[in-house]
A = this chain, B = another copy of it.
Amino acid sequence: MNITLEQAMEAVKAAQKKAADIGTLMNIAVVDAGANLTAFARMDGAWLGSIDIAIRKARTARFFNMNTGDIGQLSQPGGSLYNIEHSNGGLITFPGGIPIKNSKGEVIGAIGVSGSTVENDHTVAEAGTKAVK
Contacts and interface: CB of A to CB of B under 8 A. Distances in A.
B84 A86 contact: no
Interface in A71-114: 72, 75-78, 80-95
Contacts of A86: 56, 85-86, 90-92
A127 B87 CA distance: 24
Given A5-B42, A35-B36, A64-B47, A52 B82 contact: no
Interface string A45-60: 0011111110010011
Interface of A: 2, 4-5, 8-9, 32-44, 47-53, 56, 59-60, 62-65, 72, 75-78, 80-95, 117-118
